[in-house]
Structure 1
Amino acid sequence: MSQSPSPPPLSSLYHEKQRLELCAVHALNNLLQRRHFTKEELDNLCGRLAPGSLLNPHRSLFGTGNYDVNILMAALLTQGLAAIWWDKRKSLSSLVLSQIHGFILNIPSNVTLGFVSLPIQRKHWVAVRQVNGSYYNLDSKLKAPAHIGNEDELRKFLQEQIAQEPCELLLVVERSVEEDGSWLLAL
């Protein structure tokens, strides 16, 4: 009986940790596996998507982040990538994982003040992707990336996440893959 290969050491993975309400910045950078986006760049995208607005609808009123899906999608486009909103009524077995660059989840997350968890939930962006043959949860609220495993384990993980309400899943693909639809098995 052959054993599956060992996952790469966690130290070889790029993983930004949570600060302020910048989970969108961290999710994008963790997905790309490098520091690319900054708060200033996403704020600039907010301004371009809502020019002249006094209160920008794409981020926190206080300017601490909390970016919406439009900003994530616009940021991905600057990298030749596209985000596809996953229809949770479909089976994850219809995904062609080899055509998918990664995943971004929007999950409910408890608000904390220091060490105290408040009975309030907000949305939180989380990146998941494959690195060296294994899938990882690159949630910026984790101390380190969490190993998910192979394709079957990834599908199980994603199913568990999207079963929670209100959770949304975005597939991140190359623009050409979005255009030709090769991320989805033809049925």
Structure 2
Amino acid sequence: MESIFHEKQEGSLCAQHCLNNLLQGEYFTPVELSSIAHQLDEEERIRMAEGGVTSEEYRTFLQQPSGNMDDSGFFSIQVISNALRVWGLELILFNSREYQQLMIDPINEKAFICNYKEHWFTVRKLGQQWFNLNSLLTGPELISDTYLALFLAQLQQEGYSIFVIRGNLPDCEAEQILRIMRVEQRQRPRLIGEEAAAQSRGSQGMSLQRSVEVGQGLEEGIVDEDEEELRRALALSRQDMEVEDEEADLRRAIQLSMLGAAGTSNTTESSHGGTSQTAKSTQAQDVPSQTPGGTQSEKLSAEELRKRRQAYFDRQSQQQAQSTSPQQNSQGTGRPESEKGSQAHDMDTKHAQ
């Protein structure tokens, strides 16, 4: 199959591809076909001028575009026919009455040229096998002998004009190789548009796969960010719990210290009335009042609780210092009340003597 010459479609140069695929080589270029088209246009102009250059038909002909070529690269059947005439080849309409009367089996022909809506392509026999050399295909398509007649009939039903090539085609490498061997084709070639669409779908599939992978990566990144945020939140909550635990411990310590102070104040009250009353008033100021929602100390900050506790301990220390002063004064005399009475009695005895 690699030895078969097959030009693929470029623009609207299907007539050029058709001729080169038929002849199995780069025999014609757009410039050469354009030259043939201009020559045909000039011949037509000369024929129209024979009726008079001042006639309305002639002026209308000059205003019309060329019927043999256009800017897209299309060439008419006249251009193709003239190009093949150089090689001694002739075109015969396949479904014409003259050809049908010959009753020739298509497999005994050498080549066909097919045309539909300005598209041209070649079907040629190489060796003992037929090939569809349509320039719109990605490669030559093998056609069996039994399928050739059905293939041509299908083209006619689709509106194609089919021309039989008569004459001796130039020899080519593919012809020489396929004379001594036959080829098999396991996979038929696609149309160029189908291959481009398949490649586009493949690229879109790859793009979609990459998008999914990127999306998954983004989701993983988001999950990682969420996990990081969760870790930070847990860390902050642990810090808050530690602060709350410290505040709770502080509140319990204050309550215990207040309970201890209350016990001390009750003992002092039994021996020192004035001091007891002062301690009670001080305790009433420092012990927080109970509320349905909790104690007032629970609403205070840790720093305020520390300050109040320190102030409470300072006042306790001052009260204890004041309560111990009278005892120290009485102990400073070194004599109890009985001794004071005895001393007074002795003084009176001396004066009596």
Structure 1 length as normaliser, TM-score?
0.71
- Structure 1 residue 18: deviation in Å? 0.4
Residue in structure 2 matching 1:59, options 69, 74, 78: 69
Q: How does 1:37-186 map to 2 (within 5 A)?
A: 37-51=28-42, 55-60=65-70, 62=71, 64-87=72-95, 94-97=103-106, 100-107=109-116, 122-150=117-145, 152-165=146-159, 167-174=160-167
- Structure 1 residue 92: deviation in Å? 10
1:127-156 CA-partner distances (Å, limit 9, x unpaired): 000112110000001000111122x32111
3-state SS of paired residue (2:22): helix
For the Cα contact (< 8 Å) 1:92–1:155, is it kept in 2? no
What is the CA–CA distance in structure 1 between the aligned matches of 2:88 and 2:39, rounded to whole Å? 18
What is the CA–CA distance in structure 1 between the aligned matches of 2:122 and 2:106, rounded to whole Å? 15
1:16-68 CA-partner distances (Å, limit 9, x unpaired): 000011000000100111110110110000011111667321011x2x31111
For the Cα contact (< 8 Å) 2:68–2:76, is it kept in 1? yes
For the Cα contact (< 8 Å) 2:6–2:139, is it kept in 1? yes
What is the CA–CA distance in structure 2 between the aligned matches of 1:23 and 1:66, rounded to whole Å? 7
What is the CA–CA distance in structure 2 between the aligned matches of 1:173 and 1:100, rounded to whole Å? 8
Q: Which moved more, 1:89-98 or 1:14-23?
A: 89-98
Indicate how the Cα distance of structure 1 residues 164 and 98 shifts in structure 2: closer, same or farther if over 3 A, else same.
closer
3-state SS of paired residue (1:159): helix
3-state SS of paired residue (1:18): coil
Q: Which moved more, 1:98-107 or 1:35-44?
A: 98-107
3-state SS of paired residue (1:105): strand
Indicate how the Cα distance of structure 1 residues 92 and 143 shifts in structure 2: closer, same or farther if over 3 A, else same.
farther
Greater helix fraction, Structure 1 or Structure 2? 2
- Number of corresponding residues: 148
RMSD (Å), alpha carbons: 2.4
Greater RCO (Cα-Cα under 8 Å, separation 6 or more): 1
For the Cα contact (< 8 Å) 2:106–2:148, is it kept in 1? no
What is the CA–CA distance in structure 2 between the aligned matches of 1:145 and 1:129, rounded to whole Å? 10
Runs (5+) with no aligned partner, structure 2: 46-61, 169-353
3-state SS of paired residue (1:171): strand
For the Cα contact (< 8 Å) 1:99–1:173, is it kept in 2? no
Structure 2 length as normaliser, TM-score?
0.39
- Larger Rg belongs to: 2
Q: Which residue of 1 aligns with 2:8?
A: 17
Percent of aligned pairs with the same residue? 29
What is the CA–CA distance in structure 2 between the aligned matches of 1:71 and 1:33, rounded to whole Å? 19
For the Cα contact (< 8 Å) 1:92–1:159, is it kept in 2? no
Q: Which residue of 1 aligns with 2:25?
A: 34
